[in-house]
Structure 1
Amino acid sequence: MPKVKTHSRAKKTFTVTGSGKIKRFSAYKSHLLTKKATKRKRHLRGSGLVDKTNLDMVKRLLVLR
């Protein structure tokens, strides 16, 4: 049985905290920023945790058990 590979984009996107939670950054902050309000861009700056509905999928991409 070969080793299971980690998804390349997922390892650049998500980080695992010390307590085992998975941290993510907000979407919609990469391009077309001129039409977005300053307040909206400021709120998109922060990070958050992956929701429990997506947790299993992200763990599978990161090959976490």
Structure 2
Amino acid sequence: MANKKLKIRQLVTNRIRVTKNGKLLRRQAFKRHLNAGKSKKRLRKLSKTVLVKEVFAKKLRKYLGVKLNK
């Protein structure tokens, strides 16, 4: 049972991009709707892609079968 292959769900592959070094990038939340009350600065910052935190990235890398190149 130790060699059981993990199935990659298509949602994860669509939402997360892998850099050539194996780091994971994601889009930020809170920019889909109700943006009228948010400042231009806040909306601009929410537009950028950010790195996935390392705690979650370890699990996602294992899930996606990606290795981290240092």
Gaps of 5+ in 1: none
Residue 31 (str. 1) matches residue 43 (str. 2)? no
After TM superposition, what 4+ stretches of structure 1 lie above 6 angstroms from structure 2? none
Identity score, percent:
29
Q: Which residue of 2 aligns with 1:40?
A: 42
Q: Which residue of 2 aligns with 1:52?
A: 54
Aligned length: 65
Shift in Å, 1:40: 0.6
Secondary structure, counterpart of 1:36 in structure 2: coil
Q: Distance in 2 between matches of 1:23 and 1:39?
A: 21
Contact 2:6–2:63, Cα closer than 8 Å, also in 1: no
Shift in Å, 1:3: 5.4
Gaps of 5+ in 2: none
The TM-score, its normalising length taken from structure 2, stands at 0.72
Contact 1:27–1:44, Cα closer than 8 Å, also in 2: yes
